[in-house]
Chains A and B, each alone.
Chain A
Amino acid sequence: MMQHASDRRPGSGSSKNGIPSNNTLVASTAYIILTGLSAFFVSLWFSPDDSIIAILIAVFFVMTLGIRFWSVALIFLMVQVGLFFAEPGSVGGYSSSPGSSLVSIGVLSLLISCCRYLTLTSSPAPYRLSNRSSVQVAFFHATREPRQAFAPFGVLSRNESTVGSAELFTMLGRAVIPVMAISFMLAIVPLDPDTPEIARLIPPAVRTITLGIILLVICVLANSLLSILVWRKLSPAEARIFARSELSKWIHREVSRVSRRRIRFRNSRRY
């Protein structure tokens, strides 16, 4: 079935004058409910002594509701701080227990929900802006300028009509799969008991280095694979520009010196 512009944008308008319409609220409420459930689930997992986590998550939840362009990174930072102070360090290192996996799933759900909610409500955070532009964009948000005012800054909100019913399920997948992958990776990280003595490092440092190397290898491999696929699909113009820019990286000092001298000579002749 074909999608039509008029069908996909109900008449009420999504964010006229910055005020979310009913559709925006419905779409975002779904995310928020799921966030709340995940936060509740996380808070239940802890003992009553660790109620600070539950309080923190409840505070984040309220902040996400109240301030529509709150930075996700700040929420994540506060979660990390909470986890750091709430969890006692274990001398024997950590083990990837089901509990930690569930907490990670909860944290990830919280972040994913916040990200999606903010993308729907025209957040200034997701896009690269200079400091001055960021201030201007924040001011536009505060004064509830219409969506058009943000266009020169490249700040674009998502139209709520594109929210599909399956997105909630894909969100669950997105939260579970990385946690499982990380648990698996942590389980298979080789920890030779002799290595700390040989390398004269404490065991956590060895684990960190090993993990870092594994992650780096995975990233490089995936990037290389994708790059190979992408290079094969380059258009002739893209390939020419790439080749020329690679060449200019080698000889740009000499060529630019010649160019500048030529321009200087021309200007001196002109006057």
Chain B
Amino acid sequence: MITNRAQWLILLGVAGSVIGTLTNKGLLAHASLAVLAWIFGEWLLFRWRVELQVRHLRCVRNVNGSTSESGTLWTGRRVNVSVEIIPDRSLRIPFIRLRDWQPENLTIDRSEQPDRAEDDWPNEIDASISGRTPVKFTYACRPNGAGMLRFRGVCVCVFDLHGLFIARRFVPAQQNFRVLPTSVTIDATHPLAKRVNALPPPGIHRLQRAGMGSELLELREYVPGDPPKAIAWKVSARRDQLMTREYESEVPIRTTIFVDCSFGTKHGAFGQRPLDQIVRLAASIARSAMSVRDPVGLVACDDAKAQHMASGAGDRHFFQMLDRLSKKAVTTSPPPVRFTQQLMDEAWRVCSELHPELLEPKINQVPFTWFPMRRGKRLDRFRRTRLAAVLTELYSLTPDQPQNLIFDDVHLAEMCQRFLIDAGYGWTWPVIDRRPNELQDWHGKFEVLSDALTQVVARSHDHELLVLLVDLLDHPDPPGRLTAAIRLARAHHHRVIVICPCPDDCRPGSLNMTDLSSRQSLSRLLSHADRARRINSAEKLQRALRRIGVPVAFASDGRAVQLVLAEAELARSGRTSRTGSR
């Protein structure tokens, strides 16, 4: 691409040559022609390098010491990336800028290189390639959220030394990693004092209900039909009536985690989505339960269906569960959105980074039209036409589709979304806003969740722990069907806990209204109002669910997992409350 500087120099050079020649100013003409010849020579050299030499660059990426095309990473954990650009043959490129393409689900870690300036990107390097000498740069990063992480390749910017020409290319080096959620380490809440003589095997808990265990629960009067071996003969002789021994139950306490994977929870930047909080909590709860050998099951609900994962224990089951969670955290098929300029800009930006050669004006030509005549709209139309051609090529659409995409906003929005998701971008950020799109009014998930909860209750035994990780903040009055399902679970003596994802502290009274003055900026006032709305909703939700005996916690509150553990302890002991009544 020719730059403004070169354009001006060419214009002046031509003007100087013509004027100098016409007016017989030899020196002027000679100097102007020399400048033109210089630019022409630079252009030849630059084009030679870009078109014929850059193609011989190859990229090898090393992620945590492995060059494998796939692998596993963990959210929030450090990843060491080393990128090597290897020329396949002897090249000479004096000024090239290399940047490892950064997926949205990745944050560059600067802590290891404190001497680096703030405005330097660790995943970028300016270099000059000479001969077959490879260029290598290393950086550290951290995955933000669970799901999938795709390293696509290296963006290459080739310049001449004078700022006259610039060209962008992309050297592919694809590596796909699944990102598993990191679980939070929780302090053990199990009592250290010895309470019983006979410890049950791991995963088996003494439930203080009549059963077939080995510990005596109580003595009661004989009822016809009681087994003779249960008769306490000595006590019967003392009381002069038949007495029967009742034993405690020894049961495993199953924990079933319901994860809300609906589209509403996938809004926001990776690592800050409600789903990221949900997934992290689910992993922490599962790990905590499995540490005492309790079986844990998983039900992942989205807007259309629920996927059940049978209860199990052990490391293998735990990793299978994490894998399932990370798969659900990937955005696959979002609901259709309206076409917006932001969506278009984002798709264009990503496309120009990943497929710059397909957007070259020489390759991707735009037919001449008179309309639109305004420069801005004309530029938009050009971009749209080029993007449509690239999308048609990438997704093998029919030949008439480029024209359809140019004029059909709905179709183009759909394709742009698909392209962004395939490129590893969240479809919701920053392309569309949440509230105008009314995602919070998506009721499909409640139907699915209620059905799943009812099914689990129907299959399960009594005294199980059901943890609902659901985004209910936009629904302070849960729909009747969900409430009915929760009542059913309570009626079967299950313990039900609801945990809502929340970006900040939602406890009542956590918002200080006194520091809010009229001089605040509009965005700050809006965020304040939004937070006040969330706190109000949280209070309403807590009140509504407390009526049916369900505690509510919020993911932003660090005690959410502790609450789950406390409820699990209650479920294990068979008590109905912490005061000790049965």
Contact = CB atoms under 8 A, between A and B. Distances in A.
Given A11-B115, A72-B9, A226 B35 contact: no
Given A13-B120, A233-B52, A259 B400 contact: yes
B162 interface: yes
A161 to B, nearest CB: 7
Nearest to A18: B119
Interface stretch (A57-65, A172-180, A192-200): A172-180
Contact of B41 (A107, A178, A241): A178
Interface string B362-397: 111111110000000000000000000110110000
Given A87-B26, A111-B9, A181-B37, A80 B31 contact: yes
Contact of B95 (A14, A73, A162, A183): A162
B358 A238 contact: yes
A14 B124 CA distance: 14
B50 to A, nearest CB: 9
Interface string A28-64: 0000000000000000000000000000000000000
B516 to A, nearest CB: 30
Contacts of A182: 30, 33-34, 37
B137 A107 contact: no
Contact of B119 (A96, A147, A240): A147
A237 B120 CA distance: 34
Contacts of A92: 24
A242 interface: yes
Interface in A118-174: 118-119, 123, 125-129, 146-149, 156, 158-159, 161-162, 164, 167, 174
Interface in B150-169: 157, 159, 161-164, 166
B511 interface: no
A70 B69 CA distance: 47
A11 B369 CA distance: 52
Given A72-B5, A159-B126, A108 B97 contact: no
A230 B8 contact: no
A146 B390 contact: no
A127 B25 contact: no
B162 A259 contact: no
B133 A238 contact: no
Interface string A86-129: 01011111111100110111011001100110110001011111
B365 A161 contact: no
Contact of A259 (B28, B117, B120, B408): B408
A76 B98 CA distance: 32
A1 interface: yes
B161 A167 contact: yes
Contacts of B237: none
Given A230-B52, A242-B365, A249-B367, A89 B25 contact: yes
A260 interface: yes
B327 interface: no
B22 A208 contact: yes
Contacts of A205: 22
A252 B367 contact: yes
B21 interface: yes
Contacts of A164: 94, 128
Interface string A194-224: 0000000000110110010001001100100
Contacts of B40: 178, 218-219, 222
A119 B36 CA distance: 20
Max chain A Cβ within 10 angstroms of own Cβ: one of B1, B117, B118, B400: B117
Given A104-B34, A259-B403, A127 B117 contact: no
B351 to A, nearest CB: 12
Which of B4, B5, B357, B365 lies at the interface centre, i.e. has the most chain A CB atoms within 10 A of its CB? B5
A83 B9 contact: no
Given A87-B27, A128-B4, A162-B128, A119 B133 contact: no
Interface string A1-28: 1111110110101111000000000000
Contact of A242 (B47, B136, B159, B363): B363
Interface in A215-271: 215, 218-219, 222, 226, 229-230, 233-235, 237-238, 240-242, 244-249, 252, 255-256, 258-260, 262-263
A119 B366 contact: no
A256 B371 CA distance: 13
Interface in B55-79: 55
Contacts of A149: 119
Contacts of A238: 357-358, 360, 363
30 contacts: A4-B136, A6-B113, A6-B138, A8-B125, A8-B126, A14-B117, A76-B9, A80-B15, A84-B19, A89-B24, A90-B24, A90-B26, A92-B24, A94-B26, A100-B30, A105-B34, A111-B38, A115-B5, A118-B163, A126-B4, A147-B119, A158-B161, A204-B21, A208-B17, A229-B52, A230-B52, A241-B363, A241-B393, A242-B365, A246-B365
Given A16-B118, A100-B31, A242-B365, 14 more contacts: A1-B133, A3-B134, A5-B139, A71-B5, A80-B32, A83-B31, A90-B24, A126-B166, A127-B4, A230-B51, A245-B363, A248-B403, A252-B367, A263-B404
Interface of B: 1, 3-5, 8-9, 11-13, 15-38, 40-42, 44, 47-48, 51-52, 55, 94-95, 97, 113, 115-122, 125-128, 133-139, 157, 159, 161-164, 166, 357-358, 360, 362-369, 389-390, 392-393, 399-400, 402-404, 406-408
